[in-house]
Structure 1
Amino acid sequence: MAYDIAVIGGGPAGLSAAVQARQRNKSVVVISGDDRDGPIYKTERIDNYLGLPQIRGPELLERFRKHADSMGVERKTGRALNIMQMNGAFYISIGSDMAQAGAVVLAPGVARGVKYPGEAEHLGAGVSYCATCDGMLYRGRDVVVVGRSSEAPEEANFLQEIGCRVTYVAPREPEGLHGGIPFVKGVRIEVLGEKAVTGVRADGRELSCAGVFILRAAIAPTDLLPGLALRDGYVAVDRDMAASIPGVFAAGDCTGLPLQISKAVGEGLVAGHRAAEYLDKHK
């Protein structure tokens, strides 16, 4: 489906951008994963958000979401996997789905954790970030799911249902994993193989497999959109929150310190405003 603006991330920065764009009568979709993976949801008490002292993180996030819903902001649940630019439009892959937009606001927060050894080298040769996209390639074969998001057990279950032989690796055993899927505790992960994946090493234990699904809560912006300029490891933006690629804006934690809600909301407002202006100028 086509929208004026696609917002990647459903936290304070993303929802602020979406509300601002809707105030300018733009169609907006917010693409984000499970709210439980976000840092605000896990925060018991927030003391420094103006006018709402001592509010619980989940309550504040719910207020933000209700505001966006009341403005007509649409939402797609899932991880944005990549963004392609073609003929003046952006195409965002969301699992096996696709959304189109005239402008993009990046607000995915901070992708926590570096790539595992062997991960980047085997991308497309056994490493995948999406079970519903690539699962059928491994039907009847051994796969490892490295679970680092709340949705990972559901995706592991899906892989089992389509006929993959699944092993689930994570720091702790998750809830909701189907019976018959073995769990292996693992923090230190390494992807093995020369040209293609042949296995995974989890805390020193080797698990043979043809494919590994690494399911994190967030993907780094530069993995989403190659060619995006960085500054000190964060997305480089100007005062209009415009990134280095025309039509792309960014807000919140992904643009750098301080990692605070007030900053995220303010930057989201600017990004949503400027994205709407960008579309008006490029009609």
Structure 2
Amino acid sequence: MSELRDIVIIGSGPAGLTAAIYAARAELKPLVFEGPQPGGQLTITTEVENFPGFAHPIEGPELMDAMREQAIRVGTEVRMDWIGKVDLSQRPFAIETTTGEVVHAKTLVIATGASAKWLGLESETILRSTPSGAVSACATCDGFFHKGKDVIVVGGGDTAMEEAMYLTRICNSVTVIHRRDTLRASKIMADRALKNPKIKFIWDSGIEEILGVEEKKARGVRVKNLKTGEISEIAAGAVFIAIGHQPNTSLFTGQLPMDETGYLVTDGVKTPIEGCFAAGDVYDTVYRQAVTAAGMGCMAAIEAIRFIEAEESH
């Protein structure tokens, strides 16, 4: 057999690296595959103010570098490879990289996360990387930086309504821009948002451009009415894109149960396959925070450690 590991972790965000830290301290010599976005979604976040232990804001990439260094220091091996195929049909599980290398694992932690869906505008891409969080996919992460401003939320589902409701506590006003004339959100979420005096709606409209690239901070959006073709501009200090997330679970299609969006369906951190665990945004549709992902990584590692110990005691 090719290389055999006690535990392999796919993904290197807060969930994957926390799992690695716990597994390494239990002397399981974890192997982490970093994947296409080393460090996960925090690497595209500017200032992080809500991760415990940091009295002053820390840059997202800096926080993930520190987690990675910690994981390596306690005994984790990190590889930059991408995974092309995973076979969960028998144990040890077979994990094959895109270069054809195969590693077998007694236990597996899936921490591949989820990716925010974006509009695909060039101005959006540029402003996403500004320190001011001018364009963001996380109101909980970046809303605080826009206290007292007029802001925009793009989307019409539950995520968009949650973001809009949250932002009303911090911002002066919230304008929701939606491509349809009715919300896709659940009735209870839609009713709450529609009744909130700080939220206004622009229907049947899509964003053509986010304004403020030259200043490196958002100053508004150019909007097109999809029925009339009319173009207008709306002033705003930040734009929150809330058109959903796509879990990175295609590797496990047909092997693990998923909901209609592709999130893994689990029992806590346990998947239906013994020895295979999940952590973070790959199944979490509720909290989606770095600190909760880290907590789930800890839980997944502890479950994997207990699983191996139980096997070895037989």
Give yes or no for the alignment of 1:271 onto 2:273: no
Work out the number of aligned pairs and report it. Answer: 179
What residue is the counterpart of 1:64 in the other structure?
A: 67
Runs of 4+ residues deviating >4 angstroms: 34-37, 111-114
- Counterpart Cα distance in 1 of 2:68 and 2:37: 10
Match of 2:185 in 1: none
**Partner of 1:110 in structure 2?**
114
Are 1:250 and 2:278 counterparts?
Answer: yes
Structure 2: tracts of 5 or more residues without a match: 119-245
Q: How far apart, in 2, do the equivalents of 1:235 and 1:31 lie?
A: 19
Match for residue 41 of structure 2? 39
2:217 maps to none
Question: Mapping of 1:83-102 within 5 angstroms?
Answer: 83-85=86-88, 87-95=90-98, 96-102=100-106
Distance in 2 between residues matched to 1:39 and 1:60, nearest whole Å = 12
Residues 37 and 102 from structure 1, CA distance in 2 versus in 1: closer, same or farther, beyond 3 angstroms?
closer
**Would you say 1:55 and 2:58 are equivalent positions?**
yes
Question: Residues 87 and 255 (structure 1 numbering): CA distance in 2 closer, same or farther, change over 3 Å?
Answer: closer
In the alignment, what sits opposite 1:158? none
Q: 1:227 maps to what in 2?
A: 255
CA deviation map 1:38-92 (0-9, x unaligned):
3211111011111214110111001100100101101121211221136521010
Change (3 A) 1:79 1:44: same
Q: Partners of 1:231 and 1:244 in 2: how far apart?
A: 14
Aligned partners of 2:280, 2:24: CA distance in 1, in Å?
Answer: 19
Provide the residue aligned with 1:125 in structure 2: none
CA shift for structure 1 position 37: 7.7
Change (3 A) 1:235 1:85: closer
Tell me, in whole angstroms, the C-alpha distance in 1 between the residues paired with 2:111 and 2:38: 16
Paired with 1:104 and 1:58, the residues of 2 have a C-alpha distance of 25
The root-mean-square deviation of aligned C-alpha atoms, in Å, is: 2.3
Report if the CA contact (8 A) 2:32-2:77 is conserved.
yes
How much does 1:113 deviate?
Answer: 5.9
Alignment partner, residue 14 of structure 1: 16
Contact persistence 1:237–1:255 (CA under 8 A): yes
Kindly indicate whether residue 76 of structure 2 is the aligned counterpart of residue 73 of structure 1.
yes
TM-score between both structures, scaled by the size of structure 1: 0.58
Distance 1:227 1:111, change over 3 A: farther
Partner of 1:139: none
The share of aligned pairs that are identical, in percent, is 27
Task: Kindly indicate whether the alpha-carbon contact (under 8 Å) linking 1:102 and 1:247 is maintained by their aligned counterparts in 2.
Answer: yes
Equivalent residue of 1:91, what SS?
Answer: strand
- Alpha-carbon distance in 1 for matches of 2:109, 2:116: 20
Residue 261 of structure 1 is matched in structure 2 by 290
The alignment's TM-score, normalised by the length of structure 2, stands at 0.53
Greater CA radius of gyration, 1 or 2?
A: 2
Distance 2:253 2:276 in 1: 10
Tell me the CA shift for residue 34 of structure 1. 4.6
Q: Can you give the 5+ residue segments of structure 1 that lack an aligned partner in the other structure?
A: 115-217
Query: Which of 236, 241, 247 is 2:265 aligned to?
Result: 236
Q: Does structure 1 retain, via aligned residues, the 8 Å contact 2:13–2:41? A: no
**Residue 281 (structure 1) shift:** 1.4
The superposition leaves residues 94-138 of structure 1 with CA deviations (integer Å, 9 ceiling, x where unpaired) of 112111110100000115569xxxxxxxxxxxxxxxxxxxxxxxx
